[in-house]
Structure 1
Amino acid sequence: MSSFRVRLTMILIGMIGLAVLAAGLFMGKTYKENHLDALEDNMVREMKIILDQMDWRSGEPASVYSYYTGNAKRLKEITDTRITFIRGDGVVLGDSDHDPQTMDNHLQREEVIEAKEDGVGRTTRYSDTINENLLYVAMLVHPNDPNSDIIRMALSLQKVDESVQRIWITLVLGLLILFIAAALISYRVALGLTRPLEQITRVAKRIKSLDYRARVHVKRNDEIGELGLAINAMADSLQVQMTRIHQNESQLASVLDNMISGVVMIDASGHIVLLNRRAEEVLGFSVRELVGHHFTVAKQQYELSQIIQEGIERKEHLREEVTFYYPEERLLDLNLVPIFEDDDSFGGVLLVLQDVTAIRRLERMRSEFVANVSHELKTPITAVKGFAETLLGGAVDDPETARSFLQIIYDESDRLNRLIGDILELSKIESRRVPLQFSPIELASFVEKTVELMRAEGLQKQIRLSYKADRDVYVEADEDRLRQIIMNLLSNGINYTPEGGSVSIVVEPVGGENYESVRIHISDTGIGIPKKDLPRIFERFYRVDKARSRSSGGTGLGLSIVKHLVELHKGTISVESRVGSGSTFTIELPVLQ
């Protein structure tokens, strides 16, 4: 049982107990007074009867004492009360319990004085004569004469007290039963009041603990029931609002975590209050290390700290590109935006970090590509123009010289045509404007036909071409583009392999009978590629041996075209090489597109 219910029950029981006790005391006192009044009335009636049946005498003291004493004793046996006859001057004439001649004058007794004034007097006091508490009732023999003689009856209060005690016992038992009944009723009332309040309190605590599904089971139509309905309505509203808030928070967190830009929010005092996942990667610090701390804890990023400090001081938009060297080298575009609250007070700054390393690299590659294209185009054009001018200058009259110059012009024009074709091809591939027609290809026959197409080129340099491919190994690919990939790599191997060398192709499934991809290895015994050049050989116009490349008629775009075509087939290409020992290009393609 809850402490509130205990307190309420105790209060109700205490109030009822006090009320019952007060009522009992009042009833007991009232009953005692009424009982004494009833006894007095009975005694008065008895005294009237005695006076009516008895002669009031006067005469010799001895005979008078004897007469009244005898009557007093006789009447005591009848009434079971003490009878006293008193003369008008207070002298006791007779008494049922004591010798009247030895008794004090009774003129100043309270009941006697009251009787002389009102006709009847009453009092209770201790009697020295019989050593007992008595109820005295005195009455004038002649009511209209203040000096009249007096008859007095005395009743032992022990009998009265015994009667009152029996009444008190009955009253106490009744009050006790009433008190127990009242206690049970109080508990039921307290239970009826506190149980719904306790339920409402439990629900309120659950709501305080963010359990917005808690509800009060309302079974009453009184004020407590209305309070329960109000709590339920509040919980419904809070649940809807918190659900909406959680959805918004989840959406905002999802947006922040999946942004490609880093976002950092800093308050007016310089403490970091928000950091998304991308910002962690860029800055090299975790949320735990930065959120709640001053921005200067990122000591490795001194320039960033300076920019943030400047933004907080100037309270205006700042933008700058900064190179970060920790945790890795990056070029970042920093946008610092001031945040103002609704009352136009400064709330801090929002820092947006965008990694522009790749963009700047692409811009640099584009500039290099334009420069390389210009250079590559200028070389054959210059040769064509120079030999044409020589011919126009008179060399055309010498048939042998003219034929030699025209052959050079033709070769340079052919090279220029190949270069422009490769540039256009690479442009279409990079822009994804090359539609691929996928179909199942049986690789053994495919490789055989491709090798036959390149065999004549290999014979010119006495280079042996070989292949190894299991039958019934298939791959889904664009046949023309796959042949272009193989032929470019074979041509590349032939060009960079000295006379008498070899170029081979090996096809193998990956994963046994239920293979999901195939590998194609194209190896040569050529001059090899230095280790420092391996990461760049797939770049456009990158040549390991520029003089040999030009002499072989290469454009410097072949490997770049191969890499893009392999990626269009959702495959990968890698290379292993040792200088002087040759190179091996490995292509891995998925069986199904």
Structure 2
Amino acid sequence: MSVFWFLAGLAIGILPLTIYRSHLSSRIDQLAKTLPPDEASVDLSIMSRLSMRLAHDQAQTEKLERKLEVWKQILYLAPIGYLQVDEENQLIWCNSAAVQLLGINQGDDYAPRLLLELVRSYELDALIEKAREKGQPHQREWRFYPASADAENLSQARSTPLRGLAFPLQGGEVGVFLEDRQEAVTLSQQRDRWTSDVAHELKTPLTSIRLVAETLQSRIDPPNRQWVDRLLNETLRLSRLVQDLLDLSQLDLNPAQRLKLKQTDLVTLINAAWQSLEPIASEKQVQFYYSGLASVIVRADEARMHRVFLNLLDNSLKYSPNKGIIRIETSVNDQSVSPQIQVDLVDAGAGFPEDAIPHIFERFYRADPSRVRSTQGREAMQPTSGSGLGLAIVRQIIEAHQGTVRAQNHPETGGAWVQVILPYERTS
């Protein structure tokens, strides 16, 4: 009887083992099918096939790990900074360039820490959040001040101009490339300083030439007076160019201190600027339409802000076809943290070339050939010559007023669309 129970117990114990062995064999067969054809076709035992599969997977894993280590080493030695944060904005890795640029001191444990604890840059934090929120790469430029700089000495502290490109990764992580822009800024400052010095040197002789030309203008016989008139016009054009360069150099140095701020009505300035250009507009039969607020009172430098609208309208008029239309609309933008005044100018020209839009407000940049437009029954209009400084002056003045300006093409008309945004304080 005891033998019977022994055999019964043995059978009960073997049954689960048999079922498990069958399941394991089926699983190994499935894994074997994923092997290369020459390996899968070999008649091997279960353990041999399993061993080959494990060896194959281990080889692939080691290969990927080696590739990952190579790329990580390249990224660590890259001349531009790189950092990576997790979904909670904790710094999980950065290369040596990022450590030097941001002054990161993570300690010896290399445990993830909140980025703002290591780098006091709210611009960098906002850039990361923007890329994570939009789900696409986002770029921004700002000046980074070291953590040791207090609020009182912030303007005297040594800062680094940075350009950051943030892009979303899996699991809510975000990677950021950081570029030191100090060399580019230094070269730009040297160029501007050289330009300003040349403008100062040219101002005096040009004034002398103009005075001589004006004196000769009344003493030359009428048949030959046209040559003096041409000389005088070219001298005046060069004088205006020199003055534009001097204005730019003055705004470069402490722009806010160069402004004479007072309560100014932008609508009045817009209309005054158009009246100055109305004789030219009449020749081309270009019409001007204003819509929006009846009055816009802001604290601004009246003379410089008039220059802004004069340059913008002159640029639009220059590239508008005959019988074209120029529109300006003002509105209050309440979507931002503080209210802003938005001024939209749209012309009926051919618009900006797409590749030129990022450079529209750069000094001496001109995209004349692309904005020439053919009209019915006439040859393509040749735009009036310009210095390429008009829109650069616009940006400089607007930024000095803590505002922004951008250019694009209007989606409906296809013409140039310039948008000016200025701080605005509501009055009761």
TM-score between the two structures when normalised by the length of structure 1 = 0.35
Larger relative CO (CA 8 A, sep 6+): 1 or 2? 2
Larger C-alpha radius of gyration, 1 or 2? 1
